[in-house]
Amino acid sequence: MKKIINCPAKLNLTLEIIKKMKSGFHELRTIMVKLPNLKDKLEIEIFPEKKGIEIICDNLEIPTDSKNICHKAIKKFFKKAKKEVGVKVKIKKQIPVGAGLGGGSSDAAEVFKVLNQYFRNRFSIKELIKMAAEIGKDIPFFFSEKNGSLIGGTGEKILEEFDFKKGYFLIINPRIKIPTPEAYKNLSNNLWFMENGNRIDLSRNFLENLKNNFEKYFYNDFEVFVEKKYAIIKELKQSLLTFGADGVLMSGSGSTVFGWFKDEKKFLKAKKILKEKYNNFLVIRG
């Protein structure tokens, strides 16, 4: 069996970290959307008469041993299914690494789906999500049937799904890698209002205003610390606003920044200008 699959990136349109749990993980509220124009490509082969896992990737930054998230997904599935076959995964990376775009999580979700299909839907989606959350907190989102979701818990709870087909995203990645553990450590040590029960639920407000002016609820708790360390993040946001974006934000724990445009002409003009200015960055339509 061989499958070729496109794995979409994601953006966080809100990201509220509201509690540090005894487990060390953080409870959050976040609105995520899938990006139709930024995808990794996976080629997954299954060999019924063999055992073993082989990961191949065209990006040397990606580990191909047991540290690879697709490798972890396969091992987790085999352990739960109590069965093994041979699996080869070829990854063609298009989604930047360590950029807050969920590339590895998206890849892993598709691996879970393909294995489950091969084993005749041995597990329900709920069961797949549970095991996926054990290796990566962003993975469950990529099981959503729609392209937008409100996510809760530590990232494993899909609370509500919705269709998001509004406007145009301009994605800029300055090729800075921000380790997620470092970002969360800064947050826990410095964000005094993180566990304040009086915080407004901006993610819920975003959903309630989905038909009009939702962009005013774009929000990310990580921005305040990342912008202090990397001035380029604030510069990119200001540039996007200057050239017509109706809303701007950093995705995840960084370093990707996006602008959302209502108007296609403004979007195209901004894309041209910013692609020329930041020609060593990734500047694409999301």
Q: Hey, which residues are catalytic here? A: 10, 138
Encode burial over 215-247: b for 16+ CB neighbours within 10 A, e otherwise. Answer: bebbbbbbbebbbeebebbbebbebbeebbbbb
Q: Do residues 274 and 243 lie in contact, with contact meaning Cβ atoms separated by under 8 Å?
A: yes
DSSP character for 96? Answer: P
Q: Cα dihedral sign for 94, 158, 32, 233?
A: negative
Q: Do residues 38 and 107 lie in contact, with contact meaning Cβ atoms separated by under 8 Å?
A: no
Spatial distance between the Cα atoms of 14 and 284, rounded to a whole number of angstroms = 21
Order of strands, edge to edge, in the sheet holding 168-173?
Answer: 247-250, 257-261, 168-173, 282-285
Spatial distance between the Cα atoms of 190 and 180, rounded to a whole number of angstroms = 16
Gyration radius of the chain over CA positions: 19
Please list, in sequence order, all residues whose beta carbon lies within 8 angstroms of the beta carbon of residue 9, skipping any fewer than 6 positions away.
Answer: 34, 35, 38, 39, 40, 95, 101, 102, 103, 106, 286
Vertex 57, ends 51 and 63: CA angle to 5°? 80
- Report helix angle 103-118 to 69-81, nearest 10: 30
Spatial distance between the Cα atoms of 36 and 166, rounded to a whole number of angstroms = 13
Spatial distance between the Cα atoms of 276 and 188, rounded to a whole number of angstroms = 38
